[in-house]
Every structure is written in structure tokens, then in C-alpha cells.
């Protein structure tokens, strides 16, 4: 299993070659540092880590950060132990398991009750046996469980809501991750990107902020709850979203241009690469970009020499959005 083997809105897997080719044009020497500060799935940082770059990787969602540590982190992994645990998890029979927190909250919604019983049991087991693992092994097992859940969820690919009708048993099967132990271990953060910016220094900073009003924690709240395992009891509506105000991004609100300008002004680097698109006339107000093209150009031009590259790209469509002529842009700023 690879880091990109999950469903994630805005994931840059299909744009990696586009991003890689443009950054490689600037001929940074071996061992240069790339910071991915809205990392999401982590596929961009993972690509450059495997090309010999040192990486700094950050996201506000803990459920993403545990994956970074599992695949890009420091510390040893005992693969014999991890395989033994995963084999045990894959042998579980839901008929031998009791109802648990996960099955009571999400059963017959995002998963069948039987699948939830297995998911909840595994997560409790990992937590109970936490001292048995290194921190990286603990994060590795949580990540394997999250990726398994993503494959069988009763959704259209995210957890904003679940599909109608009683979900069937799909079976919970965990796979092992591919891990390259020859990379530079990443420097990993779980912070607001603007708070992180003054604290880091890199040769390249890659920025892929939220584009519109759709909050990522709303898309992935089930996986975030599974990763954190604080077991909240208060939820919003039938979608079962826990209280999460501190995980909502102001880049999804009217503050986005001011935040972006503050972020850019606080970066200490040689090259800034920003992913963004041209969704400015969407049918749904939630899909309209929060930073205008004019603001993007003005802010980055004040930092250095700006070049813009574009690529035709089919984006996520909520069903109300007109996306003809949709393009993905890379704004490349050579810092003064």
C-alpha cells in the first residue's frame, strides 16, 4: 500500500509530474529542503523525499500527520511485529466482538455495525497496547486502519455525509505500507500553517491551501476522530460531526487573502510554489475560490519574480458546480 492509496479531495497525485517537472527546472542541489505546509495526503512531500530532498511536512489534521510519521518519519519500524499485529486484526470475526464506541457512533451510517465493531476493537487494541510500540509504529498501525476504513466507507469518497440505506458488511482488511528507509526523515508538524511559517527555513515551500469554503475537517471528521481517539460524545446532526472549531481553516473564509499575504511575508525560502485553480464562477458558493487571481498575483509578485504555469485538470464536482475550462495553476515565485 502506498501513501496515495486513499480518497482525498484535492489530492495532487495526478498532478505530481506537473509539479515535479516545474520544480526540477530550478536545479536545486541534492539535500535541498522542501516544505509542504498544507500537506493533505503528503504525496508531494513523499515524492521529493524519495528524490533525495529533506522535507518539512505539516497539516492541521492529526489524521494526516500520523500518516506522515508512519511513512516519512524518524525511528525504526519492527516490520515483523507490525505484520503480526495486522495479521491478527485481519483474522477478527465480528460475531465474537461486542459493541464499542465506534459501532455505537458510526454503525449503520458510515459503515455496517459488524465492520464498525472490528474497526473500534482494533483502535482500542492499538491504544491499549501503545507501550508495546514505538511512536512511529503506533502511528503506522493507526494509518493502516484509517486507509482500510477509507476503502469500505459508505460514502461518495468523503465523510460530509453517508449514503442512504443500510450499509452492507464489506470486511475490514488492513494492508502494510511501502516505506523507504533510505530517505531523510521528515520534520513533521501538526500546526496552523501561518503559525508555522516564521519557525521554519527551506529552499522550496510548496503551498496547497484550501481553495474554497469547504472545510477539510468536515470531509474527514470520522478519520480524525478515529486517529485522535478522544471519544467525544457530542455530535452535530445525523452526520455525526464532533465539535471541531479549532480544526476549521480561515482559508475557507473571507480572511483568506489577508492570511495568505501574512503567510507569504513570513516565509524564509528561495522558491515558493503555490497550487491553486480557477474556480471563480461556480454554481455553488461553497466552491468559489476564496483568494482572487488578482490577490494571488499581487501578493506573490511583492515577494519576488512570479511565473504562472497552468494545466487542464478535472476537479472535484459537488454536483452544483460548472467546471468547464477548469485549470490547475502553479504560481512560482523566485524570492528576492
pLDDT tens profile 285-307: 555 688 889 999 999 999 999 99
User: Which cell numbers in the block locate residue 42?
Assistant: 503528503
Is pLDDT at 284 greater than 90 in this prediction? no
List Cβ neighbours of 88 (8 Å cut-off, separation of 6 or more). none
Per residue in 245-281, pLDDT tens? 999 898 898 899 999 999 999 999 999 999 988 664 4
Please provide residue 177's backbone torsions phi and psi, each rounded to the nearest 5 degrees. Answer: -85, 145
Chain-centre distance for alpha carbon 188: 13
Give SS3 for 206.
strand
Average pLDDT, the chain: 92
Q: Which candidate, 243, 234, 226, places its Cα nearest to that of 124?
A: 226
Q: What's the Cα-to-Cα distance from 272 to each of 16, 185, 204, rounded to whole Å?
A: 16, 22, 6
**Residue 25: CA atoms inside 13 Å, Cβ hemisphere, count?**
12
User: Which cell numbers in the block locate residue 134?
Assistant: 514505538
Give SS3 for 36.
strand
List Cβ neighbours of 293 (8 Å cut-off, separation of 6 or more). 278, 280
Q: Which candidate, 260, 266, 264, 322, places its Cα nearest to that of 291?
A: 260
34, β-bridge pairs: 55, 204
Please provide residue 149's backbone torsions phi and psi, each rounded to the nearest 5 degrees. Answer: -65, -40
Q: Residue 210's pLDDT is what?
A: 85
Per residue in 40-99, pLDDT tens? 999 999 999 999 999 999 999 999 999 999 999 999 899 999 999 999 999 999 999 999
In the chain, DSSP finds a helix count (H) and a strand count (E) of 12, 9
**pLDDT greater at residue 1 or residue 327:** 1
Chain-centre distance for alpha carbon 17: 19
Strands 304-312 and 327-335: antiparallel
Euclidean distance between CA atoms 9 and 12, whole angstroms: 9
- The answer to whether residues 11 and 43 touch, using CB atoms and an 8 Å cutoff, is yes
Q: DSSP alpha helices (H): ranges in the chain?
A: 16-24, 43-50, 62-72, 79-90, 101-106, 113-128, 135-152, 193-196, 216-219, 221-228, 256-265, 293-301
Q: Residue 320's pLDDT is what?
A: 47
Highest mean pLDDT among 95-104, 155-164, 214-223, 269-278: 95-104
Give SS3 for 169.
coil
Place of cell 476549521: 248
- The answer to whether residues 29 and 35 touch, using CB atoms and an 8 Å cutoff, is no
Strands 54-58 and 187-189: parallel
- The answer to whether residues 4 and 43 touch, using CB atoms and an 8 Å cutoff, is yes
Per residue in 98-132, pLDDT tens? 999 999 999 999 999 999 999 999 999 999 999 99
Euclidean distance between CA atoms 114 and 97, whole angstroms: 9
Euclidean distance between CA atoms 66 and 75, whole angstroms: 14
Amino acid at each position: 500500500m502506498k501513501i496515495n492509496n486513499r480518497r482525498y479531495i484535492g489530492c495532487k497525485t495526478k498532478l505530481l509530474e506537473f509539479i515535479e517537472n516545474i520544480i526540477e527546472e530550478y536545479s536545486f542541489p541534492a539535500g535541498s529542503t522542501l516544505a509542504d505546509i498544507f500537506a493533505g495526503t503528503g504525496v508531494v512531500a513523499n515524492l521529493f523525499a524519495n528524490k533525495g530532498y529533506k522535507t518539512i511536512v505539516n497539516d492541521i489534521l492529526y489524521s494526516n500527520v500520523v500518516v506522515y510519521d508512519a511513512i516519512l518519519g524518524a525511528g525504526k519500524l519492527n516490520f515483523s511485529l507490525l505484520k503480526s499485529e495486522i495479521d491478527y486484526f485481519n483474522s477478527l470475526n465480528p460475531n465474537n466482538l461486542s459493541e464499542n464506541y465506534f459501532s455505537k457512533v458510526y454503525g449503520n451510517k458510515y459503515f455496517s455495525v459488524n465492520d464498525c465493531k472490528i474497526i473500534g476493537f482494533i483502535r482500542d487494541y492499538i491504544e491499549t497496547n501503545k507501550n508495546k510500540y514505538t511512536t512511529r509504529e503506533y502511528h503506522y498501525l493507526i494509518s493502516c486502519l484509517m486507509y482500510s476504513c477509507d476503502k469500505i466507507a459508505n460514502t461518495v469518497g468523503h465523510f460530509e455525509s453517508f449514503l442512504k440505506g443500510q450499509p452492507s458488511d464489506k470486511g475490514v482488511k488492513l494492508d502494510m505500507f511501502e516505506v523507504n528507509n533510505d530517505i531523510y526523515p521528515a520534520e513533521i508538524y501538526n500546526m496552523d500553517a501561518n503559525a508555522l511559517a516564521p519557525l521554519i527555513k527551506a529552499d522550496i515551500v510548496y503551498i496547497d491551501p484550501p481553495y474554497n469554503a469547504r472545510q477539510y475537517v468536515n470531509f474527514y471528521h470520522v478519520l480524525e476522530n478515529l486517529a485522535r481517539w478522544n471519544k467525544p460524545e457530542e455530535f452535530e446532526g445525523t452526520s455525526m460531526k464532533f465539535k471541531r472549531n479549532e480544526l476549521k481553516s480561515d482559508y475557507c473564509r473571507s480572511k483568506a487573502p489577508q492570511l495568505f499575504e501574512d503567510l507569504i511575508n513570513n516565509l524564509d525560502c528561495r522558491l515558493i510554489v503555490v497550487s491553486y485553480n480557477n474556480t471563480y464562477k461556480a454554481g455553488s458558493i461553497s466552491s468559489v475560490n476564496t483568494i482572487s487571481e488578482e490577490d494571488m498575483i499581487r501578493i506573490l509578485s511583492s515577494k519576488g519574480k512570479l511565473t504562472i504555469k497552468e494545466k487542464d485538470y478535472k476537479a472535484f464536482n459537488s454536483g452544483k458546480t460548472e467546471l468547464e475550462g477548469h485549470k490547475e495553476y502553479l504560481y512560482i515565485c523566485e524570492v528576492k
